[in-house]
Structure formats: C-alpha cells, structure tokens
Structure 1
C-alpha cells in the first residue's frame, strides 16, 4: 500500500472527527465507527489487482445505473432538499446512489478503454457519460451531475483520447444542451434563485445566518491554532456536511485547514505518480493502461469534489450540497471515496510490480 495515501486518508478522517465533535458532538461515535469501517474496507480492497476492478467495472456500472433509475420512483428526500429525491432507503440503510455512480463511471470507462483502446471509441464512451450523468441530472442534482460529467471528460483525457475529439464532443453536446437547459431551469426555479441569491450577497450589508456566513464566522473564530472541540459553543454552527471545513477551522484553525489541503495534495501526487510510472512500463499492457486510468479517475473523483466543496465554503460558488470527501458526515460519500482510494492503492502496486527490476521504484514480483 502507498504510505502517503494511507496517511492522507487518516488525516482527513481525523480532521472530520474534530469537525463533527464541535458541530454535532452526539454524532461523534456514529461518525467514528463509520470511518473505521471505511478505512478497513480501503485496506482490504487495496489488496486486489487492477484487473479485478476492470472486470467488475461493467457489472458495477450497470448496478449503479439501476439504483439511479430507481431514485425518481422510490427515492426519498429531506426537509432541506427542496422536494428533490436523492436517497434510497432499504430498511435501516439510507444511501445516495449518485455517490456510487461516480465510482461506477470510473470503473466502467477504465475497463472500456483498457479492453478496446481509444481509437474510434468516442461515441460509446460519450453515451456512457451522458447516460450516467443524465440519471443524476433528472433527480435533480445539478452539482453532482456537473462533477460527474467533468469526471468523464478527465477519464477520456487520461485514457488518451485526442483533445480535438474531446473539444468537438463538448461543443456538440453544449449546443444540444441549450434548449434542454432552459426547460430544466423552468422546472426547477430554485437553482436560478440560488445562483442569483449568491451573486447578490456582496450587495447585502449583513449576511446573517446563511450557511456561507456561518462558515466564515466559524473559520474566523478558529484563528491560527483553533479553539479545540470543546471551544465556546454557539447557538448555530455551519452545516457539518457541506460546510464541515468551517468546523475543522474552528477546532484546529488555519493549521487544520492547511493539513486538509496537504492531505488532498498527497492524493493528487500519488495518482500522478501512478500515471508517470505507468508511462515507463514496456510493453504497455491493457492492465497497466487500465490501472493508470483508474488512478487518475479515482483521484479526480475525490479532489474534484473537494475543490467544489471548498469553493462553496469560501463563497466562490453557491451552496451545492456536495460533501467534503472523507471529512463530511455521511456514510455514502465516505464509503465511496474510501473505495476510490483502494483503487489508487491497487494501481500503484501493480504499476510498480511491472517496472524494470533495476528501477528504484520497482517491487519484487512476489510482493503483495
């Protein structure tokens, strides 16, 4: 396993526990137990070889499509979800299929490009991206669908699809989306209200107790070192899901936020190292190609979502409901992101196993 990747996961989960301890102390045991389960799953599944993930890809993707298709019919929402349905309930288990859908898209596209290459395969890959994104789009969940679409584009690029082909695909899809986008916004007016409300915040003398305002207040109170989980309590805290970074900043200050950013950088650096080492393997086998795609896709799945969440907390984007990976409260996101880390672990080990024996990064052929 990659030590720096394991350190990043433990750092993020630990910071999440600090944030939950400040915002919702009664949830700390529940969140901690789920974090331990997610970490154990990462360690367990990281022992699989990339070929197992590549073979599983079509089946797992099909399963996530089925779950996403069920959401409009039997899905449930929350009091804060403006009437949208994004969760499925199976007995005591509640989860968000769109989280699994991201991982399903990563596994499917990696499997597809590893088996069939990238030549003249743009239409098939496009359909996979559009179908998966479309099912999330109609929930409606605009933030997650945009992230998922971006994930698909990154996977195309990582697989080796030409930039000119990707640009042509984006242009054609953009033209087709114009009339659909207008109807979508008419049916869901709260989306435009959220954007226009966010744009007008700068003209408002007092932000009040909106989520972004609360997040900024909590971050300011944290200062450089933070006030700790037992710091002064306030009647209202920023959300411990979407705005968990505010609670992290409150408890551990600027130092904790810097550690958060550093942990995500470790994930980026590890995935890029996988791609770099894979380029040195000769001959380039389908499994090595697939491992490289898996690592880049899993990395973007995590840090792309983290980027959006942190931009929301900073006030750059309006509130989207996207959790902070491995930090926010909620098992669906934590579990899926932990599985994505297992994929990167697996890809790293496989690539190092196939490096030339005289390479300093190579693993012995008998190594796990």
Structure 2
C-alpha cells in the first residue's frame, strides 16, 4: 500500500464531506457511508495483483459497452440535463455508465498492449477508443467523451506508441470528425450556447456563466481559512457536484483548495513513480508493462477529470458537467475513482516486488600496515 495515496484519498474525501455539509448537511448521512464504502473498495482492489485487472479488462470493457448502449434506450436524465440521458436507474441503484467506461477503457487498453505489444496494433486500439468515446459522445456527453478520448491517447503514449503514430491517428480522426461536428451541434444546441456564452462572458447571460460567477463569489467569501461548514448562509450558491470546489473554498478557504491540489499532486507523483520504477525492471515482463500502463491510465482518469472540473470553476473552460473526483456528491464517480486508486496501489506493490535486490556491499579488507 502507498501511504501517500491513502493520504490523498482521505484528504479528498474529507474535503468533499466539508463541501457537502456546507450545501446540505442532511446529505452527509447519504454521502458519508458511500465515502467509507469507497475507501473499502480501494483497499479491496489494492489487494489484487495487476494480472487480475489485465485479465478482467476485456470483460469489464465489454460490460461497459453494453451499458452505454442501454443508456440510449432506457437511460434517464434530470431536469437540468438539457434532455440528455446519461444514467441507468434500476430502482435500488442509479449510476452513470460513462464513469465505468473510463475504467473499462483503461483496463482494456492496458490488457491489450500487455498481451500484444505496441507494434502494428494501432488499428485495434484505435477502434476501442473510438467505439467507447463515440457511445458516450452520442448520449450526448461532450465533456466525458473528450476526457475519454484524451485518456486513450495518454494510454497509447504510456504503452510506448510513437508520438508520430499518435499524431497521425489524431489528425485522421480530426478530419473524419468535421462533418459529424455540425450534425452534433445542430442536434444539441445547448452546447453552442455554452461555448458562445463563455466566449462573450459578461455580455451574454447563461446558466453556465451564472454558475461560474456564483462559484467565484463563494471562493472569494471563503478567504484564507473559510467560513466553516455553516458559514454565513446568505444567498449561498451551494453546489455539491460540478462546482463543489466553490463549496469547499467557501467552507475551508484557500487552505482547503490548496489541500485539494496537494492531494491530486500526490496521486500524480505516485503513478509517475510506478512508471519510473517499472522502467528499471529487467527483463520487462508483460505484467510489469501492464501494471505501468494501468497506473498511468488510472492516474490520468482521476487527475485529468479534476483538471477539467477546476478549469470550469475557474472560468477557463465552459461548463461541462464533469464532477470533481472523490470530492463531488455522487455514487458512480466515487466508486470508479476509488477502484482506480486501488489499481495504482496494486501496480506500485507489483513493481516494487519485481525490482532487483540491491547487491550487498563487499567489505574492504584493512591492511596490517
């Protein structure tokens, strides 16, 4: 187990509980047990070896594809979702398959590259990325689909695919996507409204700009140390999903936001450490290669989503609806991100086990003279 990963997870969960308490204290009784379940899920996943995730990759990926197809037929949305259907509701459980699809894509590509290598295998890998991203893109969920496509590119690079091949792949897909983009925007006009509203910030009012403006106000009100979970409560924006960083900043101030960033940095540092240690293992076995790809993919799955969420809250990106991993209120994201952390734990243990033992130093004999 990686101590710094456990610290990161506890920090993120704690900040999430503080932010949610500021919005609606009653939700703590729902979110608290889910947070404990997520921590237990991480510990359980960490006990598995990377071989298990590599073997389960095709099955998990296939299951997520089935769920993504079902969303188009029996999916449900919310009043604020602009007519989109992104959730599956089976009564006792309601979850978002696109969150599971990120984890499925990481496991599938890591398994594929570990078994087949990276030479002359780009067509198959490209098909996996395009198929998964396309199903999410057509829900429609533009934010998650862009993240998923980026995740596939990062996984290719982590597996050892040449930059020139990746660039050619992206150029070809970009040219093919041009005619699709017009149809997509025409079918989903709210996307263009958010983009144009973001470009004309301060001139064209929109729901997304209202959220960003209120989030900035709450962050300013938090100051250095925050107002506490109860705070001032007057006209409080109170967002516990997409803009929860505003609630965290309002409650715990700049210190709380800094702790969030520190926790995500710990996740990045641990995953990069796994890749660095894996490069020292000789010979490089498929399992060690797969463990390294799993760790980098799981890291980007968490931190890449956090980057997008925080950029939205800062007003750099238009509103996308992407939650803040391990902090936002919700079941699907927290569970899948917790498994991703468990994968990094598992990869770290496996790579450390495979490292060669340091040779003992030979004592130097002292001369009698």
Shared fold (TM-score greater than 0.5)?
yes
CA separation of 1:49/1:77 partners in 2, compared to 1, >3 Å: closer, same or farther?
Answer: same
Residues matched between the structures, number:
360
What's the CA shift for 1:206?
A: 12
Runs of 4+ in 1 over 4 A off after TM superposition: 204-209
Distance 2:207 2:97 in 1: 34
Q: Which runs of 5+ in 2 are unaligned?
A: 361-369
Please state how far the C-alpha of 1:198 moved relative to its aligned partner: 1.3
How do residues 78-227 of structure 1 correspond to structure 2 at under 5 angstroms? 78-203=78-203, 210-227=210-227
Give ranges in structure 1 of 5+ residues lacking alignment.
361-368
SS of aligned partner of 1:201: coil
> What residue is the counterpart of 1:295 in the other structure?
295
Pairs within 5 Å for 1:340-355: 340-355=340-355
1:36 aligned partner: 36
In structure 2, how many angstroms separate the alpha carbons of the residues matched to 1:311 and 1:271? Answer: 22
> Partners of 2:183 and 2:230 in 1: how far apart?
49
Cα offset for 1:359? Answer: 8.0
Distance 1:357 1:330, change over 3 A: same
Deviation for aligned residue 1:286: 0.1
Determine if contact 2:155/2:296 at 8 Å carries over to the other structure.
yes
Q: Deviations along 1:70-108, whole A, 9 cap, x unmatched? A: 001000000000100000011221000000000000000
Decide whether the 8 Å contact of 2:219 with 2:249 is kept in 1.
yes
Name the structure 1 match of 2:254: 254
Instruction: Give CA-to-partner distance per residue, 1:33-84, whole Å, 9 cap, x none.
Output: 1000000010111000000000000000000000000001000000000100
| Closer, same or farther: CA 175–206 of 1 in aligned 2, 3 Å | closer
The 2-side partners of 1:42 and 1:69 are apart by 28
Offset, 1:291: 0.1
Distance, in Å, in 1 between the alignment partners of 2:275 and 2:176 is 34
Q: Are the aligned partners of 1:211 and 1:238 in contact in 2 as well (CA < 8 Å)?
A: no
- Give, in whole Å, the separation in 1 of the partners of 2:155 and 2:269: 17
> Residue 324 of structure 1: CA displacement?
0.1
Deviation (angstroms), 1:213: 1.0
Distance 1:217 1:35 in 2: 28
| 1:127 aligned counterpart, secondary structure | helix
